Amino acid sequence: MLEAGVKAPDFKLPDQDGNNISLSDKKGKWVVLYFYPKDLTPGCTTEACNFQEALPDLGSLNAEVIGVSKDSVKSHRKFADKHNLEFTLVSDENGTVCEDYGVWQKKSMYGKEYMGIVRSTFIIDPQGKIAKVFPKVSVKEHHTEIQDALKELA
């Protein structure tokens, strides 16, 4: 997994509307780039809804939220519509960005090993460097952790 202080790998991925989004287009803003396993699952829904609730505060800190998973554009649209998500969700169907950030890892559940996205968040500074990394996130209060970190960093 990438660490704080390194340049964040750029990407160009389609969002929930099919528009290509690049990290380099966000220069000058703080970016909360969070990776999550699957649309419309309980933990991922909690995390997304908490980020949605925190959007006004994050916006006042000049921060933008981008969620990344391997789900399709269509799945992201359904997820965003169902939960009134007003931030960007990008589709990394081939997993390149997940691999670039080191969040595609071996996981295990009920003794069975498989590859999957480890829920992680990267705060990227306005110059495009990773300012802080949150590996293996617990969703319940993560949005407040992010807000606190941004207040410290900004």
Known catalytic residues are: 44
CA distance 102 to 61: 27
CA distance 118 to 115: 9
Tell which residue, 52, 109, 10, has the closest CA to residue 44: 52
Task: Give 42's contacts (C-beta < 8 A, 6+ positions apart).
Answer: none
CA distance 71 to 22: 18
Tell which residue, 87, 89, 92, 112, has the closest CA to residue 103: 92
Helix, strand, or coil here: 15? strand
Token pair belonging to 54: 């925190």
Q: How many CB atoms lie within 10 A of CB 135?
A: 15
